[in-house]
Structure 1
Amino acid sequence: MRVAIVTESFLPSVNGVAHSVMRVLEHLRDTGHQALVIAPSSGGQAPSSYAGFPVVAAPSGTFPGYPDLPFGVTTSLRLETVLADFQPDVVHAAAPISMGHKAVTVAHRMGIPSVAVYQTEYASFATRYWIGPAQSFIWRRVRNTHSLATMTLAPSSYTRQVLINRGIPRVGMWGRGVDAVRFSPGRRDEELRRRLAPGGERIVGYVGRLAPEKQVEDLRVLADLPGTRLVVIGDGPRRPELEAELPGAVFLGQLTGDDLPRAMASLDVFVHPGEMETFCQSVQEALASGVPAIAPARGGPIDLIDPSHTGWLYPAGDLATLRSQVQDLVGDERKRLAFSRAARESVRGRTWSAVCERLVGHYRAAVEAHRLQQVV
């Protein structure tokens, strides 16, 4: 197939949208398909190609209060020209809100099937950045975009139902894969653990952006938990405030390469307090690393965490329950080890290859659905 991927975020940005697009491109290359990427220029730092496919850089803007998260702002005419030159079988719009909205609109006008992949809770995101009045506008934009798409794919059952409740039609599901070789219990590093917790404390960790929507400040409820050390991995605009709010925590900054899976596997319990996760890849990477995970019972983690087997889900906002769940696991080694084994087993079969092949199946279904619409 010939696939044009229009993404609101790409390298050098490091986030869930960019990560999934990269894995999709690698799969398309490995299975003999052709692809083109249209992505924000990110201040001129976007690569000219990825996985052997050309990357067309578009002008970019940034969200208010979050300069590290760019989005594309190109014109419809430019998109139409690029798509006409490439002649794709299908357009994949990754987290469409700005450039992705135009891409779906242009594809609809040109008679090209499109698959809109919903990945970011833009409306909820807005409330965390003090632009709450934009919520209704954002939901109208999301509904308009996804209603024009041949097919919408949600990353989790919770998010799928949210979209359906918002009146968005033709919503399927497409999850995310995990590299269970890179993220593995075998990466556990005892020397690193001694550096992080010299007193032999159990290590409770978070991995992700340090931004308002991640609610990392909720980890304060764990700050004085006896026999534990809190470790925060990641970077972002809230880091200075969080370092002040969590003075006893170890902040490791953003880790890449082998450092990230080594740090992840060296945790005893993983906690992700964000309530806006459409999927939450870091939870899945923790499970692959054999680390029990705890998260709010909202969004993507509902599909990933099996309570009382691989971790715990707590009612959103109930920090007392979060604390008791962490205490339960750090205080019971036998239970924690059982959860660890079950966590690792739970990701079996969730390879990126299998997940991306399912996406190609969705592409084909969109092409066929579009063909039948044309016949009618």
Structure 2
Amino acid sequence: MVIAPAPSSSTRGLTGSHPYPVVRVPSVPMPRYRGLRLGLPSPKLSDALVAHAPDVVHLASPFLLGARGVALAGQQRLPCLAVYQTDVAAYARTYVGWGEATAWRWLRTIHNGADRTLAPSTSAAADLVAHGVQRVWLWRRGVDTVRFDPAKRHELVRKALAPNGELIVGYVGRLAPEKRVDLLAPTCKLPGVRVVIVGDGPARRDLQKALPEALFLGARHGVQLARLFASLDVFAHTGPHETFGQTVQEALASGLPVIAPATGGPVDLVIPGENGTLVPPEDGTAIAAAVAELVADPALRQRYGAAARAGVEGRTWAAVGDELIDHYRAVLAGPGVPTRVPVAA
């Protein structure tokens, strides 16, 4: 059973059906980012949990709804596992302008109420421990290596993106202030380079003004997204607040050299000199310099791309799912039973 925030009225008809029960609880839009909704505690939560009688409670990025979930798990004496996915404190700083310390206090309370917290990267795990969260384990994300594959590279797509044969540098992700896509401005000025931006969000209009040379494609999904990834030459990730960086991993699976900030989740994914380049966070000039190096050296691009693909082939969702099941078994065994859970390659 999944308990999730109700969608907005404009998207309610798009949620589709599921092969498992889904209980929707009231939700509100996140302040200054209405596309993200926060689930609210509801009497439905307690009733659904009791009726379903689960063996384990899994909290996905708990904050409001998750706080009630961890409390109910404690009341029902159910093992509880919390997954840290979103840097809520950074969002508070970016969108509200205050509340970072308050957010961390609240997160610490929630996560310390769980039997185990899973962090997606070594950086996220270190942040949690530094802010007083206990029982932190590493659980990285998987990637669909069948969908995201260098073989999906398509010359007609490349011709449409860069009619003059430019080297194509891509960004894929939400267009929001904290993603710092504006840092691609110096890269847009490089000769022989075409910047392609895939995604949507509240910052799109401002970014189109700031990056007039870039091609904005909007959101893409499924096979279309995979074909776009594989048809790029270089992937540039700009956000400094990523707990993991799933699009970085999808780019690696697509055989692309990656340029990313030397902070957060990308530090675990990008190996400088092997599959890409790490640059100082929030430094657009450094991103452009790294792109220029790859423009000038096709052999380096090819070597990085081959290593990128090879490095993620063991990180399938099946392997990562098995790892999660081992974490479930560990919390079911109880706190007195040490259980080692291997991390997917």
What is the TM-score when the length of structure 1 is the normalising length? 0.87
Is 2:41 aligned against 1:74? yes
Q: 2:80 aligns with which of 99, 106, 114?
A: 114
In structure 1, what is the Cα distance between the partners aligned to 2:68 and 2:260? 35
In structure 2, what is the Cα distance between the partners aligned to 1:152 and 1:48? 30
Q: What corresponds to 2:98 in structure 1?
A: 133
Q: 1:56 aligns with which of 18, 23, 28?
A: 23
Q: Deviations over 1:164-183 (max 9, x none)?
A: 00010000011111011100
Q: Which structure 2 residue ranges, 5 or more long, are not aligned?
A: 339-345
Report which stretch shifted further, 258-267 or 131-140.
Answer: 131-140
In structure 2, what is the Cα distance between the partners aligned to 1:183 and 1:232? 18
Q: What corresponds to 1:97 in structure 2?
A: 63
Report which stretch shifted further, 39-48 or 176-185.
Answer: 39-48
**Any idea what SS the aligned residue of 1:264 has?**
helix
1:226 CA drift (Å): 1.1
**1:121/1:137 CA distance change after superposition, 3 Å:** same
Task: Indicate if the aligned counterparts of 1:268 and 1:330 stay in contact, CA closer than 8 A.
Answer: no
Q: Which runs of 4+ in 1 moved over 6 A?
A: none
Task: Indicate if the aligned counterparts of 1:48 and 1:55 stay in contact, CA closer than 8 A.
Answer: no
In structure 1, what is the Cα distance between the partners aligned to 2:277 and 2:124? 19
Task: Indicate if the aligned counterparts of 1:113 and 1:370 stay in contact, CA closer than 8 A.
Answer: no
Task: Indicate if the aligned counterparts of 2:25 and 2:44 stay in contact, CA closer than 8 A.
Answer: no
Q: 1:84 aligns with which of 50, 72, 81?
A: 50
**Any idea what SS the aligned residue of 2:248 has?**
helix
Q: 1:225 aligns with which of 183, 190, 196?
A: 190
In structure 2, what is the Cα distance between the partners aligned to 1:105 and 1:330? 54
Is 2:180 aligned against 1:215? yes
Is 2:309 aligned against 1:344? yes
**1:49/1:371 CA distance change after superposition, 3 Å:** farther
The residue type equivalent to 1:73 in the other structure is L
**Any idea what SS the aligned residue of 1:133 has?**
coil
Task: Indicate if the aligned counterparts of 2:154 and 2:227 stay in contact, CA closer than 8 A.
Answer: yes
**Any idea what SS the aligned residue of 1:258 has?**
helix
The residue type equivalent to 1:109 in the other structure is Q
The residue type equivalent to 2:326 in the other structure is G
Equivalent residues in 2 for 1:267-346, closer than 5 Å: 267-346=232-311
Q: Deviations over 1:142-184 (max 9, x none)?
A: 0000010000000000100010000100000111110111000
Q: Deviations over 1:352-375 (max 9, x none)?
A: 0000110010011011125769xx
In structure 1, what is the Cα distance between the partners aligned to 2:319 and 2:328? 15
> What fraction of aligned residue pairs are identical, expressed as a percent?
47
Q: What corresponds to 2:213 in structure 1?
A: 248
In structure 2, what is the Cα distance between the partners aligned to 1:213 and 1:103? 28
1:257 CA drift (Å): 2.3
In structure 2, what is the Cα distance between the partners aligned to 1:337 and 1:212? 32
In structure 1, what is the Cα distance between the partners aligned to 2:131 and 2:84? 13
1:81 CA drift (Å): 1.5
Report which stretch shifted further, 218-227 or 142-151.
Answer: 218-227
Task: Indicate if the aligned counterparts of 1:58 and 1:72 stay in contact, CA closer than 8 A.
Answer: yes
What is the TM-score when the length of structure 2 is the normalising length? 0.94
